[in-house]
A and B are shown apart, each in its own frame.
Chain A
Amino acid sequence: MSDTTTSTGMRVPGVTPTDGGGVGNEVFRLENLNVYYGSFRAVRDVDLGVQQNAITAFIGPSGCGKSTVLRCLNRMNDLIASARVEGGVKYHGIDLYDPKVDPVEVRRRIGMVFQKPNPFPKSIYDNIAFGPRISGFKGDLDELVERTLRQAALWDEVKDRLKESAMGMSGGQQQRLCIARALATDPDVLLMDEPCSALDPIATGRIEDLLQELKERYTVVIVTHNMQQAARVSERTAFFTAEVDTDNDRRTGLLIEYDLTENIFSNPADERTENYVTGRFG
């Protein structure tokens, strides 16, 4: 296997550059992660650690399993009946797939923003308030709504129409509302699955600026198709690619390289990473 350097490097957490060069606290540690859809293996043998209060980017071509890996981090894959996860997904040392772990509580702590803005077809206010309400929030809901909307840099645009439907907002506003909604349950981590792919460059810029502020308080893992975005916003980048099984043309994703973003883009250790980031492949 040509990626032995990568795998061996990553088995030693927090020491080698292939662990993302991290020295801070580790929020997630994936150990030999395999994800199956039925009998088909979608992702194989992923090992990596995610550092606290940093932005980690997952990049790679379509079908490389980066979204699948991201969805393992808050057990969103549970919603797909045929999905099965093998290996360890440790969150602050706790195995998220332990039978005793409640996936609902996991998702409260590990919020998620999706590729397409998906606000609830309710008012802006109720979009934010839904999460806190169901988790039994007792404090001042108005204050919480204002605070999260400010955090998502949306307050000034919507403060006069909180009771209006969220469906009437622009795509960029909707996506920031989804970020605010994810922040409202006071999570520890924010998972973002290509959050800007449906947005124009200006809206994308606003969200990227926002990410820089958010990482002060949250740990962010972002999947992106856009290499420039990964280069701009993240501290560490993981490059995934897909192996194609020529028998049935199915793709199995695997992690090729995980390092500080600057190393990935300027001095990648693996040839495949270099081909991808220089635009020769994918």
Chain B
Amino acid sequence: MALASTDVTVAAVADRLRGRRADVSGRVFLGLLLAALGLTVVTLVTLLVSVTQDAMPVLQGGAVLEREKSPDIDAENLTVTVFGETIPLEAREDPVTGGTRYYRVSERSLGSFLSNGVNFTRPAENGISQGIFGTLGIAVMVILFALPLGIGAAIYLEEYAADSRLTRFIDVNIRNLAGVPSIVYGILGFTILVKALGPITGGRSLLSAGITMAVLVLPIVIITAAEAIRAVPDSLREAGFGVGATRWEVVRHHVLPYALPGILTGAMLSLARALGEAAPLILVGAQTGFFTDPTGALDRITGSFTALPMQVFNFTRQPGEILKVQAAAGTIVILLLIVLAVNATGIILRNRFEAKRS
């Protein structure tokens, strides 16, 4: 670039420096990026607002009208007698036929929604305590089974295994397994855990569901943990070996602490996935209606169960606003809160470990 060419004067240079070139493609690109972000945010906010709005009657509590169809209705006094108990009713005009419909008026609160069991006959007393227990139970089992197995396998593959044809084959297969639809894991859980190992797992039990979910997320745990371990700089390993550390000491003192934030991120993503899956639960036999809670610690694990995603599915199949919309939305909000709590814990832990390694 020779500035000394004949037509370039100081003034021309100054003009060039001051004048901005029209960067059309750059601006269009920036616009597209903003549009993408905007669309994403709008979609997510709409979804959250809509669900929360539907769930408001459940979250806030208040009076609920339940249709009473009993033949024993005393239309004069507006009461109905069930099992010797007299319950007041409210009469409303049927908008379609013009006849009269009778409703029970009950109080519902968030507390009862969280602490009651499934109740389709009295929707106002319906609750999701069984689903919450099941979902938390699955979370614990995923943490107990999938994380140690997955992280262990990842450490072996990254730090110990030789780069042989076998390990590459295993690696490719683990990656493929991560893409297998969850319903397939459901079938696996049904065949092996519910049927073949039924005497041990209790068949259609929380234990079967927890192990199925653990197997479902295992590939994701392995892949994310392996990526995190691969991201540990080799210079750190060399430093460890250089002062006479064994491979175990290098892994224990340097590789794992450095990779831990990344491993945790993967673990949290996996856990959130396990908590949100419904398809495998259908196959391993989560309860779809009313059931009595098993008693005793062992029975709660090897007995009947359900989980929140399954309950959302079940509620939406019931007639009536109270279950179909309100209870389903309320359950979704609770499920989202649990997932949020899991992720928040993960982020806090990750930040703590990240601060440690700098």
State whether these chains interact: yes
Tell me which residues across on chain A come within 8 A of B254, comparing CB atoms: 120
Does chain B have a CB within 8 A of A141?
no
In the complex, the chain A residue whose C-beta lies closest to that of B239 is A118
Cross-chain contact of A76 among B242, B246, B358 (Cβ < 8 A) = B242
A172-192: CB near B (< 8 Å → 1, else 0) gives 000000100110110000000
Give chain B interface residues in 199-256, CB to chain A under 8 Å.
Answer: 233, 235-246, 249, 253-254
| A125–chain B nearest beta-carbon distance, Å | 14
Cross-chain contact of B244 among A118, A121, A131, A178 (Cβ < 8 A) = A131
Q: When the two chains form their complex, are residues B244 and A107 in contact, meaning their CB atoms are under 8 A apart?
A: yes
Q: When the two chains form their complex, are residues B242 and A182 in contact, meaning their CB atoms are under 8 A apart?
A: yes
Q: When the two chains form their complex, are residues B242 and A111 in contact, meaning their CB atoms are under 8 A apart?
A: yes
Does chain A have a CB within 8 A of B357?
yes
| A155–chain B nearest beta-carbon distance, Å | 19
| B234–chain A nearest beta-carbon distance, Å | 8
Tell me which residues across on chain A come within 8 A of B241, comparing CB atoms: 76, 79, 107
A121/B357 contact (C-beta < 8 A), A76-B238, A81-B162, A114-B238 known = yes
Does chain B have a CB within 8 A of A105?
yes
Does chain B have a CB within 8 A of A153?
no
Does chain B have a CB within 8 A of A169?
no
Q: When the two chains form their complex, are residues B244 and A105 in contact, meaning their CB atoms are under 8 A apart?
A: yes
Q: When the two chains form their complex, are residues B238 and A130 in contact, meaning their CB atoms are under 8 A apart?
A: no
| B49–chain A nearest beta-carbon distance, Å | 43
Q: Determine the distance from Cα of A257 to Cα of B218 in the docked complex, in whole angstroms.
A: 56
Tell me which residues across on chain B come within 8 A of A108, comparing CB atoms: 243-244
Q: Determine the distance from Cα of A251 to Cα of B7 in the docked complex, in whole angstroms.
A: 52
Does chain A have a CB within 8 A of B72?
no
Q: When the two chains form their complex, are residues B238 and A135 in contact, meaning their CB atoms are under 8 A apart?
A: no
Does chain A have a CB within 8 A of B163?
yes
Q: Determine the distance from Cα of A74 to Cα of B222 in the docked complex, in whole angstroms.
A: 33
| A140–chain B nearest beta-carbon distance, Å | 19
Q: When the two chains form their complex, are residues B245 and A134 in contact, meaning their CB atoms are under 8 A apart?
A: yes
Most buried by A among B163, B242, B257, B357: B242
Does chain A have a CB within 8 A of B185?
no
Q: Determine the distance from Cα of A181 to Cα of B244 in the docked complex, in whole angstroms.
A: 11
Q: How large is the interface on B (under 10, 10 to 19, 20 to 34, 35 or more residues)?
A: 20 to 34
A112/B242 contact (C-beta < 8 A), A79-B237, A165-B358 known = yes
In the complex, the chain A residue whose C-beta lies closest to that of B244 is A108
| A173–chain B nearest beta-carbon distance, Å | 16
Q: Determine the distance from Cα of A247 to Cα of B209 in the docked complex, in whole angstroms.
A: 60
Does chain B have a CB within 8 A of A244?
no
In the complex, the chain B residue whose C-beta lies closest to that of A79 is B241
Tell me which residues across on chain B come within 8 A of A131, comparing CB atoms: 243-245
Cross-chain contact of B253 among A113, A119, A130, A167 (Cβ < 8 A) = A130
Q: When the two chains form their complex, are residues A79 and B258 in contact, meaning their CB atoms are under 8 A apart?
A: no
Q: When the two chains form their complex, are residues A114 and B357 in contact, meaning their CB atoms are under 8 A apart?
A: no
Q: When the two chains form their complex, are residues A135 and B235 in contact, meaning their CB atoms are under 8 A apart?
A: no
Does chain B have a CB within 8 A of A116?
yes
Q: When the two chains form their complex, are residues B238 and A120 in contact, meaning their CB atoms are under 8 A apart?
A: no
Give chain A interface residues in 20-65, CB to chain B under 8 Å.
Answer: none
Q: When the two chains form their complex, are residues A120 and B236 in contact, meaning their CB atoms are under 8 A apart?
A: yes
Q: Determine the distance from Cα of A105 to Cα of B244 in the docked complex, in whole angstroms.
A: 6
Q: Determine the distance from Cα of A217 to Cα of B323 in the docked complex, in whole angstroms.
A: 82
| A38–chain B nearest beta-carbon distance, Å | 11
In the complex, the chain B residue whose C-beta lies closest to that of A119 is B239
Give chain A interface residues in 129-170, CB to chain B under 8 Å.
Answer: 130-131, 134-135, 165, 167
Give chain A interface residues in 74-106, CB to chain B under 8 Å.
Answer: 74, 76, 79, 81, 104-105
Q: When the two chains form their complex, are residues A134 and B239 in contact, meaning their CB atoms are under 8 A apart?
A: no
Tell me which residues across on chain A come within 8 A of B253, comparing CB atoms: 120, 130, 134
A121/B258 contact (C-beta < 8 A), A116-B235, A167-B358 known = yes
Tell me which residues across on chain B come within 8 A of A74, comparing CB atoms: 242
Tell me which residues across on chain A come within 8 A of B257, comparing CB atoms: 121
Cross-chain contact of A104 among B162, B235, B244, B357 (Cβ < 8 A) = B244
Q: When the two chains form their complex, are residues B163 and A118 in contact, meaning their CB atoms are under 8 A apart?
A: no
Q: Determine the distance from Cα of A166 to Cα of B242 in the docked complex, in whole angstroms.
A: 17
Q: When the two chains form their complex, are residues B358 and A135 in contact, meaning their CB atoms are under 8 A apart?
A: no
| B171–chain A nearest beta-carbon distance, Å | 15
| A184–chain B nearest beta-carbon distance, Å | 7
Tell me which residues across on chain A come within 8 A of B356, comparing CB atoms: 121
| A92–chain B nearest beta-carbon distance, Å | 17
Q: When the two chains form their complex, are residues A178 and B239 in contact, meaning their CB atoms are under 8 A apart?
A: yes
Q: Determine the distance from Cα of A119 to Cα of B258 in the docked complex, in whole angstroms.
A: 13
Closest 9 CB pairs of A and B: A108-B244, A131-B243, A118-B235, A112-B242, A121-B357, A118-B239, A107-B244, A134-B249, A104-B246
Interface residues of B (CB under 8 A from A): 162-163, 233, 235-246, 249, 253-254, 257-258, 356-358
**20 A-B contact pairs sorted by A residue (CB < 8 Å):** A104-B244, A104-B245, A104-B246, A107-B243, A111-B243, A113-B242, A116-B235, A119-B239, A120-B236, A121-B257, A121-B258, A134-B243, A134-B246, A134-B253, A165-B358, A167-B358, A181-B243, A184-B243, A185-B243, A185-B244
9 further contact pairs, Cβ within 8 A, besides A79-B241, A104-B245: A107-B243, A116-B235, A118-B238, A120-B236, A121-B257, A131-B245, A134-B245, A178-B239, A185-B244
